[in-house]
């Protein structure tokens, strides 16, 4: 029997600035049916380029060589690098499906979520519209989308990031493909939904005998679910084998370095290991030096009082609101100067809505928000423009928050020009170059556009832009969820360094409990729009009082690597 996929000497090249750049360099590995094969590596290592090669979704200027042999029945095979147009149409979404890394940019904003899943069913499975609708509702139930009968009529902008990811997963699984390519499928999902999605994928694996190529930077996830693993570095496969063997006894220095970057319960208060600390040695350098601790002031910099944000959930034919969705429900808390508050909870619990309400990007239904003693819910647009210099955000979706027409250098310097019009172009560029280096990006990227970067690289650009005005309060909305473990460690170290250097205060929104514990002084647990538990980071992680918090902790994959 032939493997489901045989990749032989695959090379993918692009022409950039009159130079030929090999994004993927002569790689070879197999994907067997009935197993999960994980492809791991840093952002920009070539993982997504490899995945896009399966479905011929790379730009026209991409040059591919080698073979990518796909065998659905184990007897006959087709080379995915040179199929006919009709053959590829039949393969895409039907025989080979893909869960893309960024659901917001992968979903069509002018069609409802239900319509986009129904389209695949009607096209490939020849279902009637009513049959496709019923099947879509069942798929939405399987991926645990709330109120699936209503969800099919919602547009992508009306649901949370994690919910959009679940819609993408439902769409990919709709035709029961022979091969499912999952490019960071659980990046935007909280641990409970992530666990259920992985169980669902495993069940489909057992039922259909399909193969799964799991592209991820979450090594805990890989250790929990993967059968085989391929480690990618600078376009090359540097290690390949059984997942348990590779993770427990890695041979290559790069693999060892990736494992060393994971935050653990012992990491709190210390600097995280990063790839550069490894020094091509077989022994991790002792870089776990204690980070400079900040003295949390008793001065309250942010005070939220009885904050509620309601959205209309149901209207009658005259437009009267009959039912409201309570995204944030009577929330109150304070943040002291120099303090980092971690906000954790399931997708759709109201974390992002709360953050945007604090920023006044969403107007609260009721309640007050005091920033530096001023009630910003009553501030005019002119006053808010001045306040926003000190109140910045790193959004969850890096691609959607960057202007595709602006090169990243202009994106970073733009806020400097707006808030400090007397600054020179030279000084702004120098500052932008410095910020690019701080977030581990090459200064030569200054004139490149957002679409030329990987998801993790785009997130680092957004972090650099948020830091451009040297704010004293930052809201990080899943700001490290798209980053691989090595860059995540760099960014977390950077945040700690900046906290020490600039004494800024922050709210850190994440579903990653290891990251939340590492970076936060206090943690708030949110469920159904309410804060159900709060306390010090150690108290919440090690001694939770609420059943819901305990369920979140129990759902963390591979407790040996994290908890």
CA 202 to CA 344: how far, in whole Å?
A: 26
Element of type H or E holding 506: strand 505-509
Q: Residue 246 sits in which domain range?
A: 5-260
Are 199 and 342 found together in one domain? no
Pairing of strands 340-345, 522-527: parallel
Strands (DSSP E) along 249-345, which ranges? 300-315, 321-336, 340-345
Q: Among 231, 260, 289, which residue terminates a domain?
A: 260
Q: Among 232, 260, 288, which residue terminates a domain?
A: 260
Encode the chain (563 residues) as per-residue pLDDT tens digits: 788 999 999 999 988 777 888 999 999 999 999 999 999 988 778 898 999 999 888 888 889 999 999 998 878 888 998 878 788 888 888 899 998 877 777 889 999 999 999 998 998 888 999 999 999 999 999 888 888 999 999 999 888 777 888 898 889 888 888 999 988 877 666 777 777 777 777 877 887 788 999 988 777 788 888 999 999 998 999 999 999 999 889 998 888 888 888 887 778 888 888 777 765 454 444 444 444 455 677 889 999 999 999 988 778 887 788 888 899 999 999 999 989 999 998 877 899 899 999 999 999 999 999 999 999 999 998 899 889 889 999 887 787 889 999 999 999 999 999 988 888 999 999 999 999 988 878 999 999 999 888 777 888 899 899 989 888 899 998 888 767 777 788 788 878 887 877 778 999 998 888 889 999 999 999 999 999 999 999 999 999 999 999 888 887 775 443 33
- Look at residue 454 and tell me if it is in a domain: yes
Inter-residue contact 180 to 173 (CB < 8 Å): yes
Are 205 and 332 found together in one domain? no
Determine the pLDDT at residue 423.
Answer: 87
Beta carbons within 10 angstroms of residue 510's beta carbon: 23
DSSP states of 392-426 as a string? EEE-S-TTTTS-TTS-HHHHHHHHHHHH-TTS-HH
Are 153 and 51 found together in one domain? yes
Are 228 and 310 found together in one domain? no
CA distances from 176 to 123, 151, 189, 207, 258 (A): 14, 22, 22, 10, 33
Strands (DSSP E) along 158-242, which ranges? 179-183, 211-215, 228-233, 236-242
Inter-residue contact 329 to 143 (CB < 8 Å): no
CA distances from 5 to 33, 34, 71, 354, 546 (A): 8, 12, 6, 45, 46
Determine the pLDDT at residue 188.
Answer: 61
Are 220 and 316 found together in one domain? no
Inter-residue contact 162 to 169 (CB < 8 Å): no
Closest CA to 368 of 310, 304, 309, 308: 304
- Look at residue 289 and tell me if it is in a domain: no
Element of type H or E holding 523: strand 522-527
Which string of b and e fits 553-562 if b means at least 16 CB within 10 Å?
Answer: bebbbbeebb
Strands (DSSP E) along 406-484, which ranges? 473-477
Are 215 and 95 found together in one domain? yes
Are 23 and 126 found together in one domain? yes
Determine the pLDDT at residue 330.
Answer: 94
Q: Which residues are CB-neighbours of 375 under 8 A, at least 6 positions away? A: 368, 369
Determine the pLDDT at residue 509.
Answer: 92
- Look at residue 294 and tell me if it is in a domain: no
Inter-residue contact 450 to 408 (CB < 8 Å): yes
- Look at residue 272 and tell me if it is in a domain: no
Q: What's the structural domain count of the chain?
A: 2
Residue 366 pairs in a beta bridge with 308
Are 321 and 429 found together in one domain? yes
- Look at residue 560 and tell me if it is in a domain: no
Model pLDDT for residues 15-46, shown as the tens digit of each residue: 877 788 899 999 999 999 999 999 998 877 88
Q: Among 208, 229, 260, which residue terminates a domain?
A: 260
- Look at residue 290 and tell me if it is in a domain: no
CATH number at residue 245: 3.40.50.300
Please write down the long-range contacts of 407-413, taking CB distance under 8 Å and 24 or more positions apart: 407/446, 407/447, 407/448, 407/449, 408/436, 408/445, 408/446, 408/448, 408/449, 408/450, 408/453, 408/461, 409/446, 409/447, 411/450, 411/461, 411/465, 412/436, 412/461, 412/464, 412/465, 412/468, 413/468
- How far is the first Cα of the chain from the last one, in angstroms, to the nearest whole number? 40
Inter-residue contact 228 to 37 (CB < 8 Å): yes
- Look at residue 274 and tell me if it is in a domain: no
CA 449 to CA 451: how far, in whole Å?
A: 6
Are 325 and 227 found together in one domain? no
- Look at residue 283 and tell me if it is in a domain: no
Determine the pLDDT at residue 254.
Answer: 87
Beta carbons within 10 angstroms of residue 227's beta carbon: 17
Are 74 and 187 found together in one domain? yes
Q: How many CA atoms lie within 13 A of 304 on its CB side?
A: 23
CA 353 to CA 364: how far, in whole Å?
A: 10
Inter-residue contact 394 to 479 (CB < 8 Å): yes
Reported residue count of the chain is 563
Beta carbons within 10 angstroms of residue 493's beta carbon: 17
CA 41 to centroid of chain Cα atoms? 15
Determine the pLDDT at residue 286.
Answer: 44
Are 174 and 318 found together in one domain? no
Determine the pLDDT at residue 88.
Answer: 86
Closest CA to 520 of 297, 269, 145: 269
CA 242 to CA 48: how far, in whole Å?
A: 21
Closest CA to 386 of 372, 400, 399, 366: 372
CA 281 to CA 256: how far, in whole Å?
A: 10
- Radius of gyration of the chain measured on its C-alpha atoms: 24
Are 122 and 194 found together in one domain? yes
């Amino acid at each position: 029997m032939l493997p489901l996929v045989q990749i032989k000497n695959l090379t993918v090249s692009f022409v950039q600035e009159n130079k030929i750049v090999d994004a993927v360099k002569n790689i070879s590995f197999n994907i067997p049916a009935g197993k999960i094969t994980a492809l791991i590596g840093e952002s920009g290592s070539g993982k997504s380029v490899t995945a896009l090669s399966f479905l011929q979704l790379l730009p026209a200027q991409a040059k591919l060589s080698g073979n990518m042999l796909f065998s659905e029945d184990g007897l006959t095979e087709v080379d995915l690098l040179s199929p006919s147009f009709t053959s590829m149409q039949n393969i895409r979404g039907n025989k080979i499906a893909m869960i893309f890394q960024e659901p917001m940019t992968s979903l069509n904003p002018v069609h409802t979520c239900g319509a986009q899943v129904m389209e695949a069913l009607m096209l490939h499975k020849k279902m009637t519209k009513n049959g496709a609708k019923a099947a879509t509702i069942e798929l939405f139930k399987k991926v645990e989308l709330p109120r699936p009968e209503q969800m099919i009529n919602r547009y992508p902008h009306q649901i949370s990031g994690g919910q959009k990811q679940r819609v993408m997963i439902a769409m990919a699984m709709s035709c029961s493909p022979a091969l499912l390519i999952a490019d960071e499928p659980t990046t935007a999902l909280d641990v409970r939904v992530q666990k259920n999605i992985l169980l669902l994928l495993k069940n489909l694996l057992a039922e259909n005998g399909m193969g799964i190529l799991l592209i991820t930077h979450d090594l805990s996830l890989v250790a929990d679910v993967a059968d085989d693993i391929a480690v990618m570095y600078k376009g090359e496969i540097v290690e390949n084998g059984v997942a348990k063997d590779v993770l427990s006894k890695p041979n290559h220095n790069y693999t060892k370095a990736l494992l060393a970057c994971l935050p653990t319960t012992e990491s709190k208060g210390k600097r995280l290991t990063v790839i550069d600390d490894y020094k091509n040695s077989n022994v991790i350098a002792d870089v776990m030096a204690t980070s400079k601790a900040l003295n949390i002031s008793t001065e309250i910099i942010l005070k939220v009082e009885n904050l509620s944000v309601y959205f209309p959930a149901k209207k009658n034919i005259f437009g009267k609101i009959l039912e409201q969705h309570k995204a944030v429900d009577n929330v109150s808390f304070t943040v002291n100067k120099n303090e980092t508050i971690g906000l954790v909870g399931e997708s759709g619990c109201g974390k992002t809505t709360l953050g945007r309400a604090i920023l006044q990007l969403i107007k609260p239904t009721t309640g007050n928000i005091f920033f530096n003693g001023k009630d910003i819910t009553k501030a005019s647009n002119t006053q808010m423009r001045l306040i926003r210099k000190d109140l910045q955000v790193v959004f969850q979706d890096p691609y959607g928050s960057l202007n595709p027409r602006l090169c990243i250098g202009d994106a970073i310097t733009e806020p400097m020009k707006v808030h400090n019009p007397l600054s020179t172009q030279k000084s702004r560029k120098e500052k932008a170059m410095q910020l690019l280096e701080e977030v581990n990006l090459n200064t030569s990227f200054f004139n490149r556009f957002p679409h030329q970067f990987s998801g993790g690289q785009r997130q680092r650009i957004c972090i650099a832009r948020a830091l451009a005005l040297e704010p004293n309060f930052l809201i990080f909305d899943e700001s490290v969820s798209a980053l691989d473990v090595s860059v995540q460690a760099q960014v977390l170290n950077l945040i700690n360094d900046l906290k020490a250097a600039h004494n800024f205060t922050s709210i850190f929104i994440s579903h990653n409990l290891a990251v939340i514990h590492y970076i936060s002084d206090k943690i708030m647990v949110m469920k159904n729009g309410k804060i159900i538990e709060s306390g010090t980071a150690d108290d919440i992680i090690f001694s939770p009082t609420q059943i819901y918090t305990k369920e979140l902790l129990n759902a963390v994959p591979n407790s040996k690597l994290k908890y």
